């Protein structure tokens, strides 16, 4: 089953772009691609989608927030603590320009409209599709 989740992520256009790891002292990450792009990201452990999110800043800046969470950044602190307990977390990403190619259909009564998908709608779709355990309900 977990393989199907990763396969589904890849079918949507996500690419492996880096990894998080704990060096014994601090959470570290490496990125190979899309460092300066906005879009949607997923954290995968053992081929299972554990977390999905979007970044309105660059991917690098968002991942750095998980590495160095500020005192009021509850989600960043929570994910940082989880990464510290995990041997390796793979980072997958799809850029915003690819997300906008997906179409969202809006219906009300007999009226139906199709519009390009925005990142927040896409994030809600991903959470409902993959039900990642690190995303809080």
Mean predicted confidence (pLDDT) in 49-73: 96
User: Over the range 90-125, which residues count as b (16 or more CB within 10 Å of their CB) and which as e?
Assistant: bbbbbbbebbeeeeeeeeeeeeeeeeebebebbbeb
Alpha-carbon separation of residue 80 from 83, 88, 97, 115 (angstroms): 5, 12, 28, 35
| Structural domain 2-130, CATH architecture | 3-Layer(aba) Sandwich (3.40)
Radius of gyration of the chain measured on its C-alpha atoms: 16
Average the pLDDT over each of 1-5, 30-34, 85-89, 115-119 and give the range with the smallest value: 1-5
Separation of alpha carbons 16 and 19, rounded Å:
8
**Cut 0.75: pTM above it:** yes
Main-chain phi, psi angles of 92, to 5 degrees: -115, 150
Give, for 29, the enclosing helix (H) or strand (E).
strand 27-31
For residue range 2-50, list pLDDT tens digits in order: 556 899 999 999 999 999 999 999 999 999 999 999 999 999 999 999 9
Domain spans in the chain, listed from the N-terminal domain onward: 2-130
Q: What percent of the chain has pLDDT over 90?
A: 93
Between 4 and 52, the higher pLDDT residue: 52
Cβ-contact 42, 19 below 8 angstroms: no
Distance CA 66, CA 19 (A): 12
């Amino acid at each position: 089953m977990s393989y199907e989740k990763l396969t589904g992520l890849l079918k949507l256009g996500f690419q492996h772009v880096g990894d998080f790891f704990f060096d014994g002292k601090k959470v570290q990450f490496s990125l190979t691609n899309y460092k300066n792009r906005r879009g949607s990201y997923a954290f995968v452990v053992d081929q299972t989608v554990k977390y999905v999110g979007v970044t309105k800043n660059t991917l690098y800046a968002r991942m750095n927030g998980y590495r160095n969470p500020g005192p009021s950044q509850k989600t960043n602190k929570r994910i940082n603590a989880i990464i510290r307990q995990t041997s390796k977390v793979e980072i997958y990403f799809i850029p915003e320009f690819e997300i906008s190619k997906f179409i969202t259909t809006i219906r009300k009564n007999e009226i139906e409209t199709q519009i390009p998908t925005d990142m927040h709608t896409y994030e809600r779709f991903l959470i409902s599709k993959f039900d990642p355990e690190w995303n809080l309900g």
